[in-house]
Structure 1
Amino acid sequence: MLAHLEAENAYTEARTGHLSVLREQVFQEVKSRVRETDLSVPTRRGDWWYYGRTEEGAQYGIQCRTAAAGDDWTPPVLEPGLPVDGEQILLDGNAEAEGHEFFSMGAFDLSEDGSRMLWSVDLEGSELYTVHVRDLTTGERLADVIENTGQAFLTPDGLAVIYTTRDEAWRPDTLWLHTLGTSAAEDVALFHEPDERFWLGAGITRSRKYLVIGLGSKITSEELLVDLSDPTAQPTPVWPRRDGVEYSVDHAVVDGEDRLLILHNDGALDFELVSVAASDPQGERRVLLPHAPGRRLLDVDCFRDFATVEYRAEGMPHAALLDYRSGELDVVEFDEPLYEAYFSGNPEWHSPFLRMGYTSFVTPSTVLELELATGKKHVRKQMPVLGGYDPADYGQQRVWASAPDGARVPISLVWKRSFGEPGAAVRPVHLYGYGSYEHSIDPGFSTMRLSMLDRGVIFAVAHVRGGGEMGRQWYEDGKELRKRNTFTDFVACAQHLVDTGVTDPQHMVAEGGSAGGLLMGAVANLAPELFGGILAGVPFVDALTSILDPSLPLTVVEWDEWGDPLHDAEVYAYMKGYTPYENVRDDIAYPPILAMTSLNDTRVLYVEPAKWVSALRHAGAKDVLLKCEMSAGHGGVSGRYNAWRDRAFEIAWMLDVLGLAGDQPNSAAASS
């Protein structure tokens, strides 16, 4: 098998060898836009400011800190390339990665007083991590090493590690407590989940009062609390598990009383927020945010004096502050028509500022801080884009396609204005889609995308059913026995772009990854004539075979998403009717297809795209390529330069398919 994959790689390299100059050019374009030596905005935790920095030529980031000055919560302004007063280097990813082909950081955590640090690493791409701990007062790496973990974090006092392990099917199923300085044989199992449908995760509330154990399948969840004064105490369920009911919990203190804020869908399709007494969580429910159809509540985080709420409405994400007592939402407003705003980097129970992230298709990632006393927004940093980038040179808008059943499917468009507005003339289009797990593809900036936009390509996102863009029903209508809606929605979006004169089939390339790779395989069978090329990343294209095998990672927990073909004949027949490998056709002409995979991928095994590519060729497809990373996992290669080169390979292939391999950035604009 390894020889076969190496031969596929050699064949792909030979078939794309004419693009080697373009690949290097795109890589250099990406590199030239990035400030390679840079620093993140420091985040205050206790008596320290924590930040990460990168250095030119180095693949991985460096984690650092510097002491905070009293009650000043304004983050220090750090200048790239200049020394930081009092800097302590906590972890240099480049030193950790030395001698390894693959390196991925998992956990990174600190004790409450900042005296101990935990981190975990994966050196294969298997998503199994090895945990290490360092005493930051002495610099000594402790003898405690925990192998084959998933999640891992320190107890607030820094005396113990809480971590998860996986079963044979790669499912996180057991939560452990390791007391530092003791042997692994003495580790205590805090909780074990025997049901193969449920994954286990854990975390500590921002109040530092509770350990929360979360158990979840695709449609059902349960959370248990443990008072951190005794982490080994018997966990207490908040609400008993009920099929089809999902909920999440956070801890608040309101008027001196311990309350639990619970976000749930019990009789509330788009979720409702209630407050219950921590001493009696199954007692009286006070409704804080009632269910409102079309307003999909996503997340609630509790702070000392308020909670943050993130939700979706009319296909867009929103962020707001919730008053505990009045229940009023104060929405944080922004001017752009398409954007993403979210709360991030707020570890403290109380501070005068609230950190937010903001971006759009044309606005680089921005770190904001909301001044709670005044409501004023402070821009702490915007990702620099070198080379004279101006957001005004680019446009973004949302248009709507009609699905075969009449559903209106949103499409986001991004383009460079100098090439003309969409629809003014036929332009090359890069159409992206996903459409599973209620995952939304929200507006976001990409420096790599500029290499295509600057050559006149319009980037489009088809927000198909199965995703969460339009609320929970949008997801429900694209899963299990309604999964075909995902595929026909994408085809409808492509057809809309053709019908409105934005592009034509010869100038449209489609892309999707993982479950989005299944989407690519399905539309290749459904409507190959609509696309000039299809890029499928780590594609889930042999779905029926995988979902029939309970011993494989992810299979049993996936039955709530796709259905259970092992025990349900209707589901078997339905999946057999759409899964790409089962439906490769010999009566159609497939466009050029590039499949990307990784040898150590535990989510979508490399055999799926390898079989699919072979079947396509057997059916007569003329231009089908497979590229397999031999030292990587589901997320691809490690290291930023390696990742840029991999993406440059994909971009060069797409430009070639679109007939733009010889074009230079802005060349069409210059000639006009």
Structure 2
Amino acid sequence: MINSIVQPPIAAKLPRELKIHNDVRIDDYFWLNQRENQEVLDYLNAENDYFEQMTSHTKDFENHLFEEMKSRIKEDDQSVPYKYNGYWYIVRYEKGKDYPIYTRKKETLEAEEELLFDCNIMAQGHDYFRLVGLSVSPDNTMISFGVDTTGRRNYKIQVKDLKKGKLLADVIENTTGSATWANDNKTLFYTQKNKQTLRSNKIYKHKLGNLQSEDTLIFNETDETFGVTVYKTKSRKYLVIACYSTLTNEYHILNANTPNDDFKVFQERVRALEYSISHYEDQFYIVTNANDAFNFKLMKTHENQTEISNWVEVIAHRENVLLEDIDIFKDFLVVSERANGLNKIRIKRWDNTDDYYLPFDNETYTAYTSTNVDFDTEILRYGYNALTTPASTIDFNMVTKTKTIKKEQEVLGGKFNKNNYESERIWATSDDGTKIPMSLVYKKGLKKDGTNPVLQYAYGSYGSTIDPYFSTIRLSLLDRGFIYAIAHVRGGEYLGRQWYENGKLLHKKNTFSDFINCSKFLITEKYTSSKHLYAMGGSAGGLLMGVIINNAPKLYNGVIAAVPFVDVVTTMLDDTIPLTTGEYDEWGNPNDESYYNYIKDYSPYDNVLSQDYPNLLVTAGLHDSQVQYWEPAKWVAKLREMKTDSNKLFLKTNMKAGHGGASGRFEALREDAQEYAFLLDLENINS
């Protein structure tokens, strides 16, 4: 039984007047943004304690769910090896260990294993650990890498001597974690972050053996709406500095053999001109939206004449096909496309003697090109999975058109049979008549009688598409009668670039109405009812959750909002917060009154009402660099004050991690088990 005597924490109200455009907002909980204030930490801990007490009756079931989820995962697992510059690289896991082990073998898979990193050893003594940006020098003797031990995505770069097996003295702080080698094996280029905003804004050149203070500043991005990164082309000929914002790109290139020369601009930035570059022989291939190609097209230009006036069309723009990416091989061009929401992989010989698509046979799958670092090969590696089909890594011979399944995800426990599940794609209608696709998966034998519990998920921002994908974790819901539904709302790019454009800036409200209308459709078609409908979203998807419970609270029995971006106006007016300035092209800049009024009209925190709300589980990360912990904390405090129901309202803050939650693969499962226990408890399912 729930302990009904336990009282929720009540945050102190300290009114703060926020005024702009002759409009005044009163924020009673603004004080919660003081990360170092002990009263703030006490409040977060009190909310955590309240959550633990109020869910104590589900703890045994939660542990059962965790063990169930864990039991499906192959603990002693390893990646499919890939070959790069004479070595096979492998990532493996050992039984009972939370973190990956990185190894390599010279020339043949029968060679002796060389240990690069054991993250289980490196993670000792840290509540959070993440290793990123592994980059091997061209002569294979050195490897650079980045480490984050707080979850704030602020990495320290170090270099390991692979011949001696020892770390060099070189330490580079406050970076993105990745670094790129020049071809001299002693020069590294890396990206540094602004300490306050965490914007990636400077590129430095580092010589092995030097102190960080001796590094040379190569590029400084002064436009606060842009970030920068640096990498090497697959051809290994060019170093590339990429400058990016939501709407605009600019690249600078340098021959990797001459790292002391100056980078030259590829094509200077023009607002709303997006492009990306790939090098092949003496040409650059460019995926771009130039000349109103909103779904993008492919162009090329000579490496010595890179300005847009020299670009020549290779694949024309198509109204109904989104060109997402390309992979370049010695004899083949591989094009990743999306048509009617579905992934397509096109393979084309450079000499035009062959041009075909890989065959895929349903409407609820995900296919993507995988690790293809080898240039001179006829093998394309790609990944495939579907809502009912575990993930496979496949090597496809582009000459013989035969495929080899290199690895199929194992679902342990002996209970999984993909033939026991069904998936389908259905279409709801939004307020403006637009058809909104949804991908559904459930156990066979579904009866549309309105009694099925449904978990409806969406993201819907930044053009990020949630494709239908297989999940071993999700089986714990499906096997207990849940339907899982992915709503492909506007704001993603599921139906092409225009799908994204129609769900951002002054069209953002389409994202919210799409989701609500998908919910209504599921109820009308008797997949479920409002007593059994649940919604979930994280980050910008958490914003979506905040809006739908303000606008249509009676549609849902429960909602999970993970690290939700809910205080949109205040955050977007504070350019000291990480990521804010780079977000103006997504949400609009509220320093402009028209955007201010539009954002204020939907911002969840600003629109909490005195009304009944669904049962709510809200999560946060104290060290989150993307959605600051105080957004969900303030939102929950205001909801506690305003809501008129006796439904559950929980705030669970991870005091040791950031945006992505726990870092260990099994610790992360505990968070999934916690969320599922919350949902299943609302359905009175406890076994």
The alignment's TM-score, normalised by the length of structure 1, stands at 0.93
Label 1:430 to 1:581 Cα distance change in 2 as closer, same or farther (>3 A). Answer: same
Of all paired residues, the percent bearing the same amino acid is: 40
State the partner residue of 2:29. none
Label 1:329 to 1:222 Cα distance change in 2 as closer, same or farther (>3 A). Answer: farther
Which letter does structure 2 place at the counterpart of 1:584? V
Please point out which of 225, 232, 238 is paired with 1:204: 232
State the partner residue of 2:380. 354
**Which consecutive segments of 4 or more residues in structure 1 shift more than 6 A?**
none
Label 1:327 to 1:585 Cα distance change in 2 as closer, same or farther (>3 A). Answer: farther
* Correspondence 1:225-304 to 2 at 5 A: 225-253=253-281, 258-266=282-290, 267-282=292-307, 283-304=309-330
1:61 equivalent to 2:103? Answer no
State the partner residue of 1:569. 593
Task: Tell me, yes or no, if the aligned pair for 1:430 and 1:458 is still in contact at 8 Å.
Answer: yes
1:610 equivalent to 2:661? Answer no
Once the two structures are TM-superposed, the CA of residue 358 in structure 1 deviates from its matched residue by 1.1
Please point out which of 50, 60, 69 is paired with 1:21: 60
Say which SS state the counterpart of residue 345 (structure 2) adopts: strand
1:638 equivalent to 2:663? Answer yes
Task: Tell me, yes or no, if the aligned pair for 2:558 and 2:615 is still in contact at 8 Å.
Answer: yes
State the partner residue of 1:578. 602
Bigger mean CA offset, 149-158 vs 115-124: 149-158
Deviation track 1:552-585 (CA, whole Å, cap 9, x = no partner) reads 111111010001111x111111111100000001
Which letter does structure 2 place at the counterpart of 1:212? V
Task: Tell me, yes or no, if the aligned pair for 1:110 and 1:158 is still in contact at 8 Å.
Answer: no
Once the two structures are TM-superposed, the CA of residue 113 in structure 1 deviates from its matched residue by 3.0
2: distance between equivalents of 1:391 and 1:220?
Answer: 43
Say which SS state the counterpart of residue 99 (structure 1) adopts: coil
Which letter does structure 2 place at the counterpart of 1:195? D
2: distance between equivalents of 1:285 and 1:220?
Answer: 17
State the partner residue of 2:562. 537
1:164 equivalent to 2:191? Answer yes
State the partner residue of 2:547. 522
Which letter does structure 2 place at the counterpart of 1:295? V
Gap runs ≥5 in structure 2: 1-39
State the partner residue of 2:455. 430
* Correspondence 1:95-106 to 2 at 5 A: 95-106=121-132
Deviation track 1:5-34 (CA, whole Å, cap 9, x = no partner) reads 000100011111111011001001111111
Say which SS state the counterpart of residue 531 (structure 2) adopts: helix
Once the two structures are TM-superposed, the CA of residue 303 in structure 1 deviates from its matched residue by 2.2
State the partner residue of 1:402. 429
2: distance between equivalents of 1:372 and 1:608?
Answer: 50
Task: Tell me, yes or no, if the aligned pair for 1:288 and 1:327 is still in contact at 8 Å.
Answer: no
Task: Tell me, yes or no, if the aligned pair for 1:318 and 1:340 is still in contact at 8 Å.
Answer: no
Say which SS state the counterpart of residue 234 (structure 1) adopts: coil
1:8 equivalent to 2:47? Answer yes
Task: Tell me, yes or no, if the aligned pair for 1:152 and 1:161 is still in contact at 8 Å.
Answer: no
Label 1:425 to 1:526 Cα distance change in 2 as closer, same or farther (>3 A). Answer: closer
Say which SS state the counterpart of residue 399 (structure 2) adopts: coil
State the partner residue of 2:651. 626
Deviation track 1:109-132 (CA, whole Å, cap 9, x = no partner) reads 212232111211100011111111
Once the two structures are TM-superposed, the CA of residue 221 in structure 1 deviates from its matched residue by 1.1
Which letter does structure 2 place at the counterpart of 1:487? F
Label 1:433 to 1:157 Cα distance change in 2 as closer, same or farther (>3 A). Answer: same
Gap runs ≥5 in structure 1: 70-75, 77-83, 665-672
Label 1:373 to 1:323 Cα distance change in 2 as closer, same or farther (>3 A). Answer: closer
Once the two structures are TM-superposed, the CA of residue 161 in structure 1 deviates from its matched residue by 2.0
Deviation track 1:521-577 (CA, whole Å, cap 9, x = no partner) reads 0000010000010000000010111001111111111010001111x1111111111
Please point out which of 499, 520, 528 is paired with 1:503: 528
The alignment's TM-score, normalised by the length of structure 2, stands at 0.91
State the partner residue of 2:672. 647
1: distance between equivalents of 2:524 and 2:332?
Answer: 49
State the partner residue of 2:80. 41
1: distance between equivalents of 2:217 and 2:186?
Answer: 17
2: distance between equivalents of 1:63 and 1:152?
Answer: 16
Say which SS state the counterpart of residue 267 (structure 2) adopts: coil
2: distance between equivalents of 1:386 and 1:47?
Answer: 34
RMSD: 1.4
Aligned length: 641
State the partner residue of 2:219. 191
Once the two structures are TM-superposed, the CA of residue 145 in structure 1 deviates from its matched residue by 1.2
State the partner residue of 1:450. 475
Task: Tell me, yes or no, if the aligned pair for 1:433 and 1:462 is still in contact at 8 Å.
Answer: yes
Task: Tell me, yes or no, if the aligned pair for 1:289 and 1:327 is still in contact at 8 Å.
Answer: no
State the partner residue of 1:217. 245
1: distance between equivalents of 2:447 and 2:623?
Answer: 41
Which letter does structure 1 place at the counterpart of 2:325? D
Which letter does structure 1 place at the counterpart of 2:145? W
Task: Tell me, yes or no, if the aligned pair for 1:593 and 1:624 is still in contact at 8 Å.
Answer: yes
